[in-house]
Structure 1
Amino acid sequence: MIMPFLTASLPGIGGQMRTLPEDFKVEERPLYLPCGEGEHLYVKIGKRLLSTPDLVLRLSSVLGVKAQAIGVAGLKDARAVTTQMVSLLGVTPERLDRLKLDEQVLSVEVLGRHRNRLRPGHHAGNHFRLVIRDVAMHARETVPLVTDILVRRGVPNYFGPQRQGRSGQNYQTGAELLVDPARRNRLSRSKRMWYLNAYQSHFFNDMLARRLDRLDRILVGDWAMKMENGACFLVEDAVKEQPRADRFEISPTGILFGSRASWAGGEPGEIERAVIAESGATPESLTDAAKACGFRGERRSFRTPLTDLEWALEGSVLTLSFSLPPGAYATSVLRELMKEN
């Protein structure tokens, strides 16, 4: 699928990413801190070249707890230096001494106890510090032009390529599983949902691509999202609501289909139906299949705010730092700058 650039009129700065793991640093921002009591021990772990699933496996093995007793708020890149919070059920601070620091586990900080397990999405977003090497000579002029558009209009909230796997075809497996109960039942729920989510994101990216030139415009029939809390409402008066979108208080959304996700009306609804029709699907068929598979679906904002932006250029090396909310991909910022997929 071709995912157009919001800043297509500006040249890409090119460059090389992740020459070193330290070129891609991610710090997870907590949504809350532990209350001080409860069965779950919250710790902050710094790691290098270690994915979140591999971290969970390592903690399970070293600490002698089941993987299900370990909670995380988000998945972090393996080819990076990252920091994230982890909850551990029934683990004492003393037992953490078994976890030795090395080239992959860089730091372990005990934050305290809490009553609840850390769950996916329970974080306030991520702060990134990225290094792009060998950028084009025009970078000093181009970077502020691109980032100004992204700050003002928002970053296209495409799902990153990692959702589709190395082959880029995970969505096709998801489409097959959606109508094949026997095959679904042979997979674990987590594996099954991974492929079904890839199918959802494939449709969403196509819907966003078709709305890209208007990703900050509210249309009648849109389900608009309140950016402060994620709540959605059906737009009946687009002229009335547009000033709120201009202030980034609300944004148009696309559907991640499910048993309870609402489809848009008006022109936005026509776009959603046209996208799924190309795969031979209808809203009714996808809703019924999602009921059988047991997932509800949701609406996802077509854009995401870019905050805490800073950048510096030394020779041909660009250092860029910024914050994104949960679920947003740093690659969406990088592709607009570099003009590479």
Structure 2
Amino acid sequence: MTVMHQALPAYGFESAPYAHGEPLARADFKTRPEDFVVEEVLGFEPGGEGEHLFLLVQTDAHNTRHTQRCLARHFNVAKQAVSYSGMKDRRGLTSQWFSIHLPGKAIEPDADELAQQGFNVLRWQRHNKKLRIGTHKYNRFHIVLRNLSQIERLNSRLPELKNLGVPNYFGAQRFGHGGANIEEALQWVEQGKLPADRLLRSRVLSTLRGWLFNGVLADRVANGTWNQWQDQDLIQLNGTQSFFTEPQWDDQLQQRFLSDDIHLSAYLAGCDQAGTIPDQMLLLFNQARMEAEPRPLRLKAQQLRWNGDANALQIQFNLQKGAYATSVLRELVLLNDRSGQQEQI
């Protein structure tokens, strides 16, 4: 690893500091597909006519890109004709919207054929526009934690997380198994160029952005300022990319912050950040012409509620797009994978 690598924050996800202290409660996680259910909420209804067929598809064994390829084969179109709004993980029961560009073709999905491939088609409707990345409004999570120890610790922490939120870290999914995406991205940084392949290019840039952001946020968590205004902080309007700065913090801003109308934010790295990120990384963002944009430091789980006991505790909440449920769970409980080995996520 080069000197440049060593000078950068070494935070992916697992090693990042806790805001509320390391949890004492433990639980089994994802022992069954229905223990982790994600519902993508568009926030609007397809119009009923147009060149694009919208599908709401549920699966428990396929990630977004695999589903995209299968839908392209099913409708006999190029993969690029199948669009989606957000990325979903393979593990868990997920429902997600896709759009298929079918101009002049009155085609409907063969639900039985797709079911044989592991896809449950919940809804379909025509629309006049394709789905684009980030179109959906939020994701709804239904999570079951089983075989809990020290559940009283967890029950006392849930209200704290509901009121104060958690650090808005990029989850482990962003960085690949064992952080492999970070090493891959840094190899391209050393070469001083981006890969030609579009998907690999996107992964390199998103990995670097997530890694750098987690480093900034982790430092704020470590010194106790992740939810306290600092001079020159970005102040982001809730649910938008709009932001502003203020020379000082006052009672009115504090009330807006407490009511979740605004959030303290930091930049996702871009080409206009000379002097704040290493020059070799800046070179890649310049090649991509990718501008910096704000991301909140704080993540608030909306409509958070829970019920159950130590055998099975059910937790439900909504998260804005781009946020990770694992960032909420990480501050709440130490999780065991299916084999029973401890996994901190």
TM-score where L is the length of structure 2: 0.85
Answering whether residue 216 of structure 2 is matched by residue 207 of structure 1, we say: yes
Shift of 1:261: 6.1
Q: Describe the superposition over 1:232-290 as per-residue Cα deviations: whole angstroms up to 9, x where unpaired.
A: 11232223523321221111112211124699xxxxxxxxx5xx5xxxx25xx644441
Answering whether residue 255 of structure 2 is matched by residue 243 of structure 1, we say: yes
The answer to whether the 8 A contact 1:310-1:321 is kept is yes
Q: Secondary structure at the match of 1:15?
A: strand
Shift of 1:45: 1.1
Q: Describe the superposition over 1:42-84 as per-residue Cα deviations: whole angstroms up to 9, x where unpaired.
A: 1211112111111111111111011111111111111111111
2:36 is matched with 24
Answering whether residue 162 of structure 2 is matched by residue 151 of structure 1, we say: yes
Residues in 1 aligned to 2:225 and 2:147: alpha-carbon distance in whole angstroms: 33
Kindly provide the amino acid, as one letter, of the partner of residue 156 in structure 2.
Answer: L
5 Å-filtered alignment, 1:275-286, equals 276=277, 281=278, 286=281
Distance change (3 Å), C-alpha of 1:81 and 1:261: farther
The answer to whether the 8 A contact 1:125-1:323 is kept is yes
The answer to whether the 8 A contact 1:219-1:235 is kept is no
Kindly provide the amino acid, as one letter, of the partner of residue 150 in structure 1.
Answer: L
Residues in 1 aligned to 2:208 and 2:44: alpha-carbon distance in whole angstroms: 32
Q: Secondary structure at the match of 2:47?
A: coil
The answer to whether the 8 A contact 1:151-1:306 is kept is yes
Residues in 1 aligned to 2:287 and 2:110: alpha-carbon distance in whole angstroms: 46
2:298 is matched with 303
Residues in 1 aligned to 2:85 and 2:301: alpha-carbon distance in whole angstroms: 21
Shift of 1:293: 2.8
Shift of 1:155: 2.3
Shift of 1:181: 5.0
Residues in 1 aligned to 2:100 and 2:241: alpha-carbon distance in whole angstroms: 28
The answer to whether the 8 A contact 2:168-2:323 is kept is yes
Q: Describe the superposition over 1:121-150 as per-residue Cα deviations: whole angstroms up to 9, x where unpaired.
A: 1111111111111111x31x2233222222
Structure 1: tracts of 5 or more residues without a match: 264-272
Distance change (3 Å), C-alpha of 1:262 and 1:288: closer
2:175 is matched with 164
Distance change (3 Å), C-alpha of 1:172 and 1:254: farther
The answer to whether the 8 A contact 2:166-2:298 is kept is yes
The answer to whether the 8 A contact 2:55-2:121 is kept is no
2:6 is matched with none
Kindly provide the amino acid, as one letter, of the partner of residue 107 in structure 1.
Answer: V
Pick the aligned partner of 1:221 from 211, 232, 240.
232
1:40 is matched with 52
Residues in 2 aligned to 1:84 and 1:107: alpha-carbon distance in whole angstroms: 10
Pick the aligned partner of 1:188 from 174, 180, 197.
197
Residues in 2 aligned to 1:51 and 1:228: alpha-carbon distance in whole angstroms: 26
The percentage of aligned residue pairs carrying the same residue is 28
Pick the aligned partner of 1:106 from 120, 144, 152.
120
Shift of 1:100: 3.0
Q: Report which stretch shifted further, 168-177 or 229-238.
A: 168-177
Shift of 1:106: 2.1
Structure 2: tracts of 5 or more residues without a match: 1-10, 335-343
Residues in 2 aligned to 1:160 and 1:55: alpha-carbon distance in whole angstroms: 22
Residues in 1 aligned to 2:158 and 2:309: alpha-carbon distance in whole angstroms: 18
The answer to whether the 8 A contact 2:274-2:282 is kept is no
Kindly provide the amino acid, as one letter, of the partner of residue 40 in structure 2.
Answer: E
Answering whether residue 130 of structure 2 is matched by residue 117 of structure 1, we say: yes
Residues in 1 aligned to 2:197 and 2:73: alpha-carbon distance in whole angstroms: 21
Higher relative contact order (Cα pairs below 8 Å, separated by 6+ residues): 2
The answer to whether the 8 A contact 2:270-2:291 is kept is yes
Cα RMSD over matched residues? 2.2
Distance change (3 Å), C-alpha of 1:24 and 1:34: same
2:88 is matched with 76
